[in-house]
Structure 1
Amino acid sequence: MRFAICQELYEGWSWERQCAFSAELGYQGLEVAPFTLAPRITDVSSGQRAEYRRVAQAHGLSIIGLHWLLAKTEGFHLTTKEAAVRQKTAAYLAELARGCAELGGQILVLGSPQQRQLEVGMTKETGVEHAREVLEAIEPVLAETRVTLCLEPLSPKETNFLNTCGEAVALIDQIGSPWIRLHQDVKAMLSEPTPIDQLIMKYASYTSHFHVNDANLLGPGMGTTDFAPIFDALFKSGYAKWVSVEVFDYSPGAEVIARESIAHMQRFCEDARSC
């Protein structure tokens, strides 16, 4: 299990400073929100991508992948009835996969709740058909770049499409590609009736990425969520991939959030190992 942090919390920081501070705290990876680099991933040249990767590696860090894939963009949507928009979305997701690979990453986390929201009157079955069409279109590029796209279930407060791990896995099974897997996020899983540790165990064979955050939108251990059973389940399930901190409340400051998050995760891991 390796620790990363989603770097959009470092608002206003240079890339060099983000890398240096994260590495100093003990993180091994950075997960990048594309909008922090440029309005679109296609605005970041191959040379710039290579430089981001070089600086990260100089600090002993990996750029593990991208998330918030469609955030702060216009004209993209996963489930829309407009076929041309779905085709445009597939083309952009393919560019994100290529950009991810050039940055050295291997993971795309598809959250972006507004860009998958079902339109008024659209059934979930139609939404699944449209999402499947988009994802199947990019599957060859995922295989070529060896980048895994992970579907992120989100709470009903955020979107009306893919709200549970079970719904995401049903779509993954329909597509049947090793390059399209499940992403689990603590904040989102708190909205499910099944306890998080049980969701981790049930879907372990599908899960390729994991986000940690607390119910209060801060880092793990900074709120009331009990992370002991969560980390215990991660160890028992054999999860050995990235665990990435993703927060939505930046008010304590990036330094405090990043420092407290990794300290808590290290403690949770030690406690889980001793169980």
Structure 2
Amino acid sequence: MKLSLCNEVLRPLPLAAQCEAAARMGYAALEIAPFTLADDPATLSVADARQWRHTAHDHGLAISSLHWLLVRPEGLSLVSDDAALRQRTLALLRHLIALAAACGARVLVHGSPHQRSPRPGQRLADALARFEDAMAELAPHAEAAGVVYCVEPLGRIETPVINTVAEAAALVDRIGSPALRTMLDVSAASQNETEPVHEVLRRFLVSGHIAHVQLNDRNRRGPGQGDTDQRPVLQVLKDTGYTGWVAVEPFDYVPDGPGCAEASARHVHELWNTLT
């Protein structure tokens, strides 16, 4: 198992200190949220991204992935009827694809609920169509860069646009690019899916749709900090020979960011070592 930590958990530590802490806790990589490194990620350069890679490698880590792609700057949208705003949002995502390739990340995780949700007065069908058009436009850029762009199913309380792995997989199939996949977040799947999470994971891993996994509890804390059993999910990963990254992504840090990250890594490693 290749375990990564979403780096916003260790804010406001600088990247080198994040790497030192993550390595000490037993992680093999960081999943980078670009807004943690610049208020406007458009100002980050390919040279910056190469330096992230060097910094991580200096601490025995990799950069596994990028996520929280559109947190900053505020006001972005892929579904607005403002064509200039949509193009500005797409331009940032194309830039982040280039940064992912430069820092060695193999995956980008597209969550960003607000920036894909219908605008006031907009029909859901229109937002869905524009979001799909955006993914179709980004897919060839990801393919050319040698990275995988993952559409993340999110909770219905966050957005009505793509809530289940099946919905994301259907979008991926319609676009038909090898660089466009989906992923599974345990917390979101625990809230959205009608089947047990591990069964959803198994089906869409076997079908080839899932390229990334994030671990957390239904209560949005770290794995092991609630009543969501992570063991069946980890067993599926082991049974299917999954070789991608598994990222720890809590949203509610208990007792704090570093404490949550350390407890999560310990819990996941302990579970993994008990699997047959």
State TM-score, norm by structure 1: 0.94
Between 71-80 and 148-157, report the one with greater CA deviation.
71-80
Between 109-118 and 84-93, report the one with greater CA deviation.
84-93
Give the Cα separation in 2 of the matches to 1:236 and 1:80. 42
**Residue 64 of structure 1 corresponds to which residue in structure 2?**
64
Give the Cα separation in 2 of the matches to 1:121 and 1:253. 39
The one of 239, 256, 259 equivalent to 2:259 is 256
Give the Cα separation in 2 of the matches to 1:269 and 1:261. 12
The letter of the residue matching 1:106 is R
The one of 226, 232, 239 equivalent to 1:236 is 239
Between 113-122 and 197-206, report the one with greater CA deviation.
113-122
**Unaligned segments of structure 1, at least 5 residues:** none
Give the Cα separation in 2 of the matches to 1:62 and 1:220. 22
Please give the secondary structure, in 2, of the residue aligned with 1:189: helix
Aligned: 1:105 with 2:105 = yes
Note the alpha carbon deviations across 1:129-168, whole angstroms, 9 max, x for none. 2112212222222112111110110111111111111111
Asked if the contact 2:188–2:218 (Cα under 8 Å) also holds between the matched residues in 1, the reply is no
Note the alpha carbon deviations across 1:224-264, whole angstroms, 9 max, x for none. 11112111122223322100000111241222112111111
Alpha-carbon offset, residue 202 of structure 1: 1.5
Asked if the contact 2:140–2:179 (Cα under 8 Å) also holds between the matched residues in 1, the reply is no
Give the Cα separation in 1 of the matches to 2:75 and 2:114. 12
Aligned: 1:4 with 2:7 = no
**Residue 196 of structure 1 corresponds to which residue in structure 2?**
197
Give the Cα separation in 2 of the matches to 1:251 and 1:220. 11
Give the Cα separation in 1 of the matches to 2:145 and 2:83. 25
The letter of the residue matching 2:60 is G
Q: How many residues align?
A: 273
Please give the secondary structure, in 1, of the residue aligned with 2:114: helix
Alpha-carbon offset, residue 120 of structure 1: 4.2
Please give the secondary structure, in 2, of the residue aligned with 1:249: coil
Give the Cα separation in 1 of the matches to 2:123 and 2:103. 37
**Residue 218 of structure 1 corresponds to which residue in structure 2?**
221
Asked if the contact 2:222–2:253 (Cα under 8 Å) also holds between the matched residues in 1, the reply is no
RMSD across aligned positions (CA): 1.5
**Residue 134 of structure 1 corresponds to which residue in structure 2?**
134
Give the Cα separation in 2 of the matches to 1:33 and 1:220. 20
Q: In structure 2, do the counterparts of structure 1 residues 47 and 174 end up closer, same or farther at CA, with 3 Å as the change threshold? A: same
Give the Cα separation in 1 of the matches to 2:247 and 2:141. 25
Please give the secondary structure, in 2, of the residue aligned with 1:113: coil
Give the Cα separation in 1 of the matches to 2:47 and 2:96. 16
The letter of the residue matching 2:257 is A
**Residue 93 of structure 1 corresponds to which residue in structure 2?**
93
Between 76-85 and 243-252, report the one with greater CA deviation.
76-85
Aligned: 1:81 with 2:81 = yes
The letter of the residue matching 2:46 is S
The letter of the residue matching 1:107 is V
State TM-score, norm by structure 2: 0.94
The letter of the residue matching 2:196 is P
The letter of the residue matching 2:240 is S
Give the Cα separation in 1 of the matches to 2:54 and 2:257. 23
Note the alpha carbon deviations across 1:89-124, whole angstroms, 9 max, x for none. 221110010011112211110001111112345444
Alpha-carbon offset, residue 194 of structure 1: 1.3
Asked if the contact 1:91–1:138 (Cα under 8 Å) also holds between the matched residues in 2, the reply is no
The letter of the residue matching 1:206 is H
Give the Cα separation in 1 of the matches to 2:170 and 2:82. 24
**Residue 148 of structure 2 corresponds to which residue in structure 1?**
148
The letter of the residue matching 1:37 is L
Please give the secondary structure, in 1, of the residue aligned with 2:213: strand
Asked if the contact 1:2–1:240 (Cα under 8 Å) also holds between the matched residues in 2, the reply is yes
**Residue 210 of structure 2 corresponds to which residue in structure 1?**
207
Between 35-44 and 61-70, report the one with greater CA deviation.
35-44
**Off by >6 Å, runs of 4+ in structure 1:** none
The letter of the residue matching 2:243 is A
Q: What fraction of aligned residue pairs are identical, expressed as a percent?
A: 36
